[in-house]
Amino acid sequence: MAANANPRLLLEPLAVGRRAWSGTIRKIEEGVASIDFSISPSLSNALDILRSLAAFLVVINHIGETLFVFEDNLNPFNLFVFQLLYLGHHSVMILFVVSGFLIGRAAIQAVGKGGVTIFDYAIDRTTRIYVVLIPALVFGLFSDWILINVSSGAEFDYVSQRMGVWIFLGNIVGLQTIYVPTFGSNGPLWSLACELWYYFMFPLFLVALFGASLRNRLIGLIALGASFCVVSDDILHYGSIWCLGVLCWFPRWPVLPKWLGWSLLIGLLASANNDYLWLNGWGFPHIVATSLSVALIINSHRHDRSAKKGLRLKISHFFAKFTYSLYLYHYPPLMIITALLLRNGFVPYGRIGAPEALLTLGLLFFLYAYSYALYWATERKYHRFRDYVKLKVAPLRAVFAAG
């Protein structure tokens, strides 16, 4: 360094950069503070329809994989059924967008208020997850014990290899698909790992940017960096889908009319099972486009302030309220039914007619009824469970507030 160099001149660019960064963060905070986070009846109904539709398509997809191996040269009706039965992966992405929209709001509000609200957010999210996840693992354990005893072939040999204690614990803390497989036969548990990490990582991202102190921002940044080192590439890829839901809060006007958003979603779902897309590398872009159409639907309904009431709202709300239970509970009993069918010489159908349709509808009704019964015993009591946990951790909350 030259003898006559002024250290202040050398540090001035850093000071300018710091002021510019602080100004940008302040503008973002002001923009977020101006967002109307309320949910109108129109938006609530749209979210209920999206969740109900997605859960239905997931369940019907798993039934389709059990009962059908479609032949070539299908007639129009069978082609329609084929398109309907294999939309499971796209449907999970719909659920991710809805989750990002709702949980993103909770995280933004918690970090914005700071203090104990972040602690309360953590309690709300963990109790919401575990009020269904832990019973699903326990019921899955008993279901898989039955499955192993009724299966007669090698189709379900993998189940016993996925029932260890460490696999059970790994699924509780969201390490399935990272360090352990999904527990037992319950393959849909893979998406719960994604949800758990998004619930944890998104608030860390917000704290790293908007934390009340440099210490908090550094802790958030370090924890977020460590999370990126742990999670799988798939969790990160699907995280971009989840974040589309968060972004729905920011446009100040509807980007598209409601009817156009719904039309796009229907068109994309109708074209999802197209070999050309997947053989030419357009599968994931198609999933992203489907997710974007869901985000546009949410955005358009968010700006609709009409107060509509009626039977349609009640029906969509009824099915939406137990979609989480339906998603986690339906698969193990379906595997038991599959094992019983195979044990009695069942051969998957190549086409669908009246008998096949009746069997499909019967299975669908049974899985919905089974999941609703378990919802009644578990998820319906979420608020009571959450309040109980909050009472037990009240001393820790006080310590957190004092810190």
The whole-chain average pLDDT of the chain stands at 88
- What number is the average pLDDT over the span 250-260? 90
- What number is the average pLDDT over the span 275-284? 75
Residue that has been written with the tokens 């009846």 in this structure? 41
**pLDDT of amino acid 155:** 85
Q: What is the pLDDT of residues 359-378, one digit of tens each?
A: 999 999 999 999 999 999 99
**pLDDT of amino acid 10:** 47
**Hey, what's the torsion of the CAs at 335, 337, 342, 345, to 10 degrees?**
-170
- What number is the average pLDDT over the span 349-364? 92
Residue 314 has pLDDT above 60, yes or no: yes
Q: Which runs of E-coded beta strand occur in 309-348? A: none
Contact 198, 242 (CB under 8 A): yes
Contact 242, 97 (CB under 8 A): yes
* Helix (H), strand (E), coil (C) string for 65-106: HHHECCCCCCCHHHHHHHHHHCCHHHHHHHHHHHHHHHHHHH
C-alpha closest to that of 143 among 102, 191, 96, 187:
187
% helix / strand / coil in the chain, to the nearest 5? 75, 0, 25
Instruction: List, as one string, the DSSP characters of 35-70.
Output: ------HHHHHHHHHHHHHHHHHHHHHHHHHHHB--
- Give me the phi and psi of 14, to 5 degrees please: -65, -40
**pLDDT of amino acid 313:** 73
Q: What is the pLDDT of residues 113-172, one digit of tens each?
A: 776 788 899 999 999 999 999 999 999 999 999 999 999 878 899 999 999 999 999 999
Residues, the chain: 403
- What number is the average pLDDT over the span 288-297? 96
Q: What is the pLDDT of residues 210-219, one digit of tens each?
A: 887 888 889 9
Residue 360 to residue 381: CA distance in whole angstroms: 31
**pLDDT of amino acid 305:** 73
Q: List the domain boundaries for the chain.
A: 37-402
Residue 204 to residue 3: CA distance in whole angstroms: 44
Residue 1 has pLDDT above 50, yes or no: no
Residue 331 has pLDDT above 90, yes or no: yes
Residue 255 has pLDDT above 60, yes or no: yes
**pLDDT of amino acid 215:** 86
- What number is the average pLDDT over the span 279-304? 90
Report the predicted TM-score, pTM, of the whole model to 2 decimal places: 0.90
**pLDDT of amino acid 113:** 79
- What number is the average pLDDT over the span 43-59? 95
- What number is the average pLDDT over the span 248-260? 91
Residue that has been written with the tokens 């109904």 in this structure? 45
pLDDT band, very low/low/confident/very high, at 11 (cuts 50, 70, 90)? very low
